[in-house]
Structure 1
């Protein structure tokens, strides 16, 4: 991607679009939150947030999450932001192939060899097959084909089902078409939160020859079916060796020195099988090479990494300076790999 690709024309389009959609009340709330957290004057924060959004492509929530209020100009420039990430996705992820990542059924079919678990699609007249699958598994996870941030994901136990025809009909009516075996995660992940399958987000770019790992984040749940923030989850960034760089945090001003349920110290976390994870990402990144920029969600099991999903709109996971003490982000790695 050339410098022009993320240059003035792109910034102008972003500024115009953002101005049309701006929620003044939301901006003020974020500014007040930031000013209170860092001892700043709210009007100055508002002006800075608007300037950063309009001229430096910094999302309002990015500004809050990555503590832009306390960073220097040089430090801010090291942070990847959602608007810039979205432009990379639009440029490098071929629209003709995006449906393979947007539709969870299509994704499972495309990446079936890398899921390493049983799955099925709920169909009319398939109550008997559904019952057999569910009773064999004991517990299942169902997914609506299109959803994000953990929406449309549910968990059911065979022992709780009394009418299989009604259960089958309910899944069809609610659009829960995809049924999967529950992943058995590695003991090192279960030690932090055994009730949720804790995924590792690996953001990567495939340049046609080499897969570049741009950032890694470890997500932790709170016992719910998903580890997303909408279910109370949080994350910590990992270094190149798979070790947590500090405590966990989320976008709601919650900081977790230890996991609230298990008491595990988040900064002590080490992702097991890190070399296998990197090799696995390189392998799956080559399956659909037309989708080059992806946020891969992976779970490490006792037998190695397995694939949960791939997000062609990769999103952004970044370091939070006030929590970790680290005042730089991952944008230089993105620039080196992608060339903008």
Structure 2
């Protein structure tokens, strides 16, 4: 009887207690150690019943990091992750303010493009008729009375279209073309827009170089004040579109001789040459700013057909300005509740 009890206890012990490893876990910083103890060998009893002996195991501690063994739902781990995320975001904001976290590739390319264009205009553009350029400028500015000379219709249309381009860019860049990050946020946009009435794209491209999106929020009372009460007005967009359409028709009414004369001016006159290049540059950049304005107003899905019309010089962007979503119905408008929410997130 005692022999049977001894065999029963020998069969129970290896499979009950020895299979459970002793776990010693350290908190947070020190590694957790798992020990595997070898099972006892009872060779005499096993051999008596022709049973194979237990395999020999080597004592081997298993080391694991406390980060792996710790519960991810642990509040201490969550607090550490939050602190690291805040620190990362803070460092990212500091980098943006210092200009280190920004990709300057596009800005550098734009600056090189602007430098090349300015060099061409001042040094390589045709300048065979400087006296005629002075005369044209006085006639176009209405500083010279009627002397019997009829100005070229295409040139007159081009001259006044440049003023409409400045109005168009003012409506596109205010407010969605303003900067909100880094040092560019402290540079106002209005000097560039005012000077664009005199210099066109030659003045706007330097602002494109330093522009840093996204656009800042617009306060509700700001929409009712100058200049947003004008740039956001459908009346302004409608009048500008009507004027642009009239100038296109006026230039189209010029006969073949008028277009040939304009082409001759383009080849000889620096004034006509530089103005034509200015028109082309603003037409090239306009679709991007239409897209930027649509993205800021979250209306890209509803107005894709307007984006397709934006490459049409002058008229395409003006059609978009007439039908674009008002800023009061877009997330760009800052309401008191949203401002409190942003303040809470910042805190």
| TM-score normalized by the length of structure 2 | 0.24
Radius of gyration: which is bigger?
2
Structure with the higher fraction of residues in strand conformation: 1
Structure with the higher fraction of residues in helix conformation: 2
Say which structure, 1 or 2, has more relative contact order (CA 8 Å, 6+ apart). Answer: 1
